[in-house]
Amino acid sequence: MSAAFVVGQMTVKNPEKWVEYRAQVLATLRPFGGELVFRGEQVQAFSGVCPHPDIVVIRFAAVADAQAWHGSAAYQALIPLRQEAADVVLMTYGT
């Protein structure tokens, strides 16, 4: 696998804390080459039901980079804030 994509689907519970989390998370990506591909809100479901209305996609050069980012002290320190701010499903996909 060459590239890895971290996909987060979320439902915001606390908008103020979500803004605080988003303001800090991008800096945790940089040391691992993480690049924000897009953030968006669900407009329509063509098939099935998605339990979360918001999505984020982050690209890394390799799965190992995504794993290193997620396990980093900087990102781990943000997880409690993320949990207060939103219900999040976070997955990694490789290409």
**Residue 39 phi, psi (nearest 5):** -125, 145
* CATH code, 20: 3.30.70.100
> Residue 54's domain spans which residues?
4-94
pTM of the predicted model as reported, rounded to 2 decimal places: 0.93
Q: DSSP 3-state assignment of 93?
A: strand
pLDDT tens, position by position, 14-69: 999 999 999 999 999 999 999 999 999 999 999 999 899 999 999 999 999 999 99
Q: What's the one-letter identity of residue 56?
A: V
Q: How many domains does one find in the chain? A: 1
Quickly tell me which residue has 């900087």 as its tokens: 74
